[in-house]
Every structure is written in structure tokens, then in C-alpha cells.
Structure 1
């Protein structure tokens, strides 16, 4: 494993962090529903990617404390974006499932963000765009670690 804490590698790590943070912040501004917090949107995205989950599983995936996730899920349920269903194996637990309304909202959000990114990408050269395409799976790998 390379030592990324010194010299040119440290500069590259810092530049990557800064660029990812700025791009992420700009992407968050492309939201469809301004009434949802970024955390609420993240929970809905996790449900879309991973399927239904218990509040405890969601808390682990989102790196928040279980009581915080309980509050987030309650807010999403109040907004009609998730529903609580009995756990198929453990009736003491509930499973959080996204609703059709959440699916529609997420799809519109993806469409809007993809269009925004595509518009930005039009300003890149062919070589720059090829580099971004090649980097996408690697960035995804970093995001999953």
C-alpha cells in the first residue's frame, strides 16, 4: 500500500478531497424536494440501493446512532416517503421500506442531477471526459470503503 501522506501524493489527496467536497456540495443543491435534509435523502438513497432494512441496519449504513435513525425514519414516514412493516423473521422489529412517492422523488432527483452533471461535462475535452469515465468506478470503490 502506498504512503499517501507525504510529497506529491499528499498534495493529490488534498486536491481530491477538496474537489469531491465542492462537487458534492454543488450536487446537493440540485435537490428536487428542498424540505428534505441531506441525511433524509441519503437514507432514501440507501433504501433504494440496498432495499428494505431495519432502523438499526440503516443507522450502521448511514454511520449515525440508532436513536437518530429512529427520528429520521419517523420524519420520513410522516412525509409519506417510507413505511414501517413487520420484520419477516423477528416480529419485535420493524423493516423500513420506501414508498412509491419516494421512488418517484428519487428518480426525479437522479434525473436532475445527471442532467446537471452532463451539462458540466460538456465543458470538458474528450480526453478529460475519458479520464472522468475511467475514474468513476475507482471513486465509487473509495466511497464503498
Structure 2
């Protein structure tokens, strides 16, 4: 890869990271006390891809430790957003289900943060985001398929 390409790739992902940080800060303002954007991400994941997952499956999907996921699921359970039940065939594991309150929480949070974004973004910004969405989706799929990238060359 040429130096110019390296700088472009680094710049691209730096911009995505900054956008993610800024949008996460806005999302955090829309969430109830004690609920972090990472907790919202778990609920959002389960709405998008289905519930009935083990904590280990969720930890893998979010690339966190099982201990971190267990803590997050505890927070979500205390808020009534998920229900954690014993695994029917593996006595060492649990299964996580969304509750109706969890689904309602997600919708409320999306509505609140959308209103915040609506105060910042105009129609031109929405058109720009729609144009970028396809490319961003393709890159996300590519990275998701290659979660274990090759090690950088030693040199």
C-alpha cells in the first residue's frame, strides 16, 4: 500500500471514529440515568438480529469480554429491558431475551436522539448521509467478515 493510500485509510477511519464519538455523546444524553450507549447497543443489536442469545454470543458480537457483557446485561435487567433465563440444555449458560420495556426503551431513545440530530442536520445533510450509507455498509460488512485481520508486517 502506498503512503498516500495509508494516509487516506487512516483519515477515513479517523473521521468515522470522531463521528461515532460525537453521535455517542448525543445518544448518551437521550438515555436514562445509569444506561450507557454500550447498553443501548446491546438492545439495538437484539432488536435488529433477534433475541434468545447467550451472553457469550452477545459478548462476541460486541467484541467485549464475557464479564463486561455480564455487567451490561445486569444493568439492562435491573432496568427491565432484558430477561435472563437459564439455558434449557446447558446448565452453565443463560439465554437473554428482550422485554416489551426493552423494545419501548429502544424506540424512545431513537426518537429522542433523532430529535437532537434533527436540530443539527438539514435536508442537505440527510442526502449526504444517504449517499454515504451504501459505501459505509459495504465497508462494515467487509470488516465484519475479517474481524481477525492479518498481523502487520514486522519491519
- TM bucket (normalised to shorter chain) is 0.7 to 0.9
Unaligned runs of 5+ in 2: 145-155
Q: Residues of 2 paired with 1:74 and 1:129: CA distance?
A: 36
Q: How many residues align?
A: 137
Aligned to 1:68: 68
Unaligned runs of 5+ in 1: none
The 5-angstrom pairing of residues 83-122 of structure 1 reads 83-87=83-87, 90-92=89-91, 93-122=93-122
Q: 1:141 to 1:46 in 2, by over 3 A?
A: same
Q: 1:11 to 1:117 in 2, by over 3 A?
A: farther
Deviations 1:80-135 (A, max 9, x none): 111013445x25232101222221121122223333334433173xxx75443122
Aligned to 1:29: 25
Aligned residues of 2:35 and 2:75 also touching (Cα < 8 A): no
Q: 1:135 to 1:41 in 2, by over 3 A?
A: same
Q: Residues of 2 paired with 1:94 and 1:13: CA distance?
A: 40
Aligned to 1:11: 7
Q: 1:51 to 1:123 in 2, by over 3 A?
A: closer
Q: 3-state SS of the aligned residue for 2:31?
A: coil
Aligned equivalent of 1:20, options 13, 16, 22: 16
Q: 3-state SS of the aligned residue for 2:83?
A: strand
**TM-score when normalising by structure 1:** 0.77
Runs of 4+ in 1 over 6 A off after TM superposition: none
**TM-score when normalising by structure 2:** 0.73
Aligned to 1:55: 55
Aligned equivalent of 2:131, options 111, 129, 134: 134
Deviations 1:65-94 (A, max 9, x none): 112212221222122111013445x25232
